[in-house]
């Protein structure tokens, strides 16, 4: 799957006038005692064991897991960058180029959406928007994201991905990570079982105990 191959709904649109605190109670997983804190090779990102433990089924994944895994996915794709979700509170300006920018967007401190921004070679701004719960006002959400990034008022093309949809109230972050992995052309399996895939990948391939 790629941005070009997605089956997207495109409305007729022209110019359109934190740290997050999402962590729930950690769960005990069977990991070595020395894994109190992890470091991700190449990125240097650190991840506490209690954050990793939220990958157990049945609750929200910790924000740190969400962000670290995105970094793991995109580190080998120089044409893709991540706007850190913490900047959602800082309102830092964003310069959008032909390089794709992934923007995780938190709504009401309880739900993750996903926007991907890039410009065509002709300079036209394109916005790809994914919500695993089909928000009632997607255009309003896109405009809020653009305003937060200080994108100048201009015409843009917006595309909405409507599948897959989560069937519970806590897997929005997992579905966003699954969606990103698919866009990168990496096998992700079924979204319903992707939480387990993330846990195994982070445990087996990408995490080292910090001495």
> pLDDT tens digits, residue range 4-16?
444 434 333 333 3
Task: Please report which confidence band the pLDDT of residue 89 belongs to, taking 50, 70 and 90 as the band edges.
Answer: low
Q: What is the pLDDT of residues 41-61, one digit of tens each?
A: 666 677 777 888 898 888 889
When the pLDDT of each residue in the chain is averaged and rounded to a whole number, the result is: 76
Q: How many CB atoms lie within 10 A of CB 51?
A: 21
Phi and psi at 19, nearest 5°, equal -40, 140
> In the sheet that 46-48 helps form, which strands lie side by side, from edge to edge?
46-48, 37-39, 208-209
Task: Please report which confidence band the pLDDT of residue 205 belongs to, taking 50, 70 and 90 as the band edges.
Answer: low
CA distance 23 to 63: 7
| Fold entry, domain 37-209 | Adenoviral Proteinase; Chain (3.40.395)
**Is the pTM value of this prediction over 0.95?**
no
Query: Could you tell me the residue ranges of all domains in the chain?
Result: 37-209
SS3 142: helix
How big is the chain by its Cα radius of gyration, in Å? 17
Q: How many CB atoms lie within 10 A of CB 210?
A: 12
Burial 105-114 (b: 16+ CB within 10 A, else e): bbeeeebbbb
List the one residue out of 75, 65, 172 whose CA is nearest residue 114: 172
- Is 72 in contact with 206 (CB distance < 8 Å)? yes
Q: What is the pLDDT of residues 142-166, one digit of tens each?
A: 998 898 888 877 788 999 988 899 9
């Amino acid at each position: 799957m790629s941005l070009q191959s997605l089956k997207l709904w495109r409305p007729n649109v022209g110019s359109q006038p934190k740290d997050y605190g999402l962590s729930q109670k950690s769960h005990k997983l069977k990991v070595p005692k020395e894994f109190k804190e992890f470091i991700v090779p190449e990125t240097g990102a650190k991840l506490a064991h209690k954050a990793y433990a939220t990958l157990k089924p049945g609750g929200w994944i910790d924000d740190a897991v969400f962000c670290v895994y995105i970094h793991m996915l995109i580190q080998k794709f120089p044409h893709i960058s991540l706007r850190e979700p913490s900047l959602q509170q800082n309102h830092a300006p964003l310069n959008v180029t032909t390089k794709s920018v992934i923007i995780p967007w938190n709504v009401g401190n309880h739900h993750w959406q996903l926007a991907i921004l890039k410009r065509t070679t002709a300079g036209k701004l394109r916005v790809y928007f994914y919500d695993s719960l089909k928000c009632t006002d997607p255009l309003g959400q896109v405009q809020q994201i653009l305003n937060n990034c200080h994108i100048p008022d201009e015409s843009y093309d917006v595309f909405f991905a409507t599948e897959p949809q989560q069937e519970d109230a806590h897997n929005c972050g997992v579905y966003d990570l699954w969606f990103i992995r698919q866009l990168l052309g990496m096998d992700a399996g079924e979204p319903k079982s992707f939480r387990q895939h993330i846990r195994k990948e982070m445990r087996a391939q990408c995490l080292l105990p910090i001495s």
